[in-house]
Amino acid sequence: MDSQNLKQRTAAESANSAAVEETTAGDDKIKTSKRSSKRGRARAALAKRGLRSLAVAVSVSVALTLLAVYFGSSDSYKNTTVSKPPFWFPPLWALHFTSTASAFLMGLSAWLIWTEGGFHNSPTALYLYLAQLVLGLVWDPIVFGAGLSVAGLVICMGMLGALIGCYQAFKEVNPIASEVIKPCLAWAAFLVLVNLTLVCL
């Protein structure tokens, strides 16, 4: 009789412990799913903030370049000393388009550095980025608006130097950001050649 009661008690206890384990497992699953949904929401919010900051970084750089092109330059080469440009000399619209594309890439590169906290850790990178941005904005109005080719050449060489500094500073923070700068470096070097041609002619 005692052994029968003992067996019944043991069976009841094991059933209770199984029920408790199931309840605990269920609670754990609920907690885990809540945690994962919170993490998912946090990641989605972070991604939205990241996309917004990327849009701001790129659009500000591009908008400033377009404003400089629109308000600061003429629609032809009449203010420059070029009467018969060489065959490789790009048309004005191509110069403006490529300058805008370069501003887009620099905005993207700067955003990549900003997301890594590079501008806080290395203020020199920020100063170099701002220097190349300002020089790029004033180059077009000075060369094609005012017709000052010699001053434009100095500005263009300063912009190329600032871009080289950006490349080296960005490479230490994010190698991808420095790779994005490479087409901008090639474009700035080409602008030096264009400006040198304007000075010589």
Tell me how far apart the alpha carbons of residues 116 and 121 are, in angstroms, rounded to a whole number: 9
- 132-135 contact pairs (CB < 8 A, 24+): 132/106, 132/159, 132/162, 132/163, 132/166, 133/61, 133/64, 133/103, 133/106, 135/159, 135/162
Residue 24 lies in a domain: no
Residue 139 lies in a domain: yes
Q: Which of helix, strand or coil describes residue 76?
A: coil
Between the alpha carbon of residue 88 and those of residues 19, 190, 194, 197, the distances in Å are 83, 11, 9, 11
Residue 144 lies in a domain: yes
Q: Which of helix, strand or coil describes residue 24?
A: helix
Residue 29 lies in a domain: no
105-144 pLDDT per residue, tens: 999 998 888 888 777 777 888 899 999 999 989 988 888 8
Contact 111, 179 (CB under 8 A): no
Domain interval for residue 154: 48-200
Tell me how far apart the alpha carbons of residues 65 and 112 are, in angstroms, rounded to a whole number: 20
What's 137's domain CATH number?
1.20.1260
For the chain, what is the domain count?
1
Q: Which two tokens stand for residue 73?
A: 């330059």
**Model confidence, pTM:** 0.69
48-57 pLDDT per residue, tens: 666 787 888 8
Average pLDDT over residues 28-50: 57
Q: Which two tokens stand for residue 121?
A: 């850790």
Quote the pLDDT of residue 90: 79
Count CB atoms within 10 A of the CB of residue 180: 20
Residue 2 lies in a domain: no
Q: Is 82 left (phi over 0), alpha (psi -120 to 50) or beta?
A: beta
Quote the pLDDT of residue 130: 92
Quote the pLDDT of residue 44: 54
Q: Which two tokens stand for residue 173?
A: 């923070």
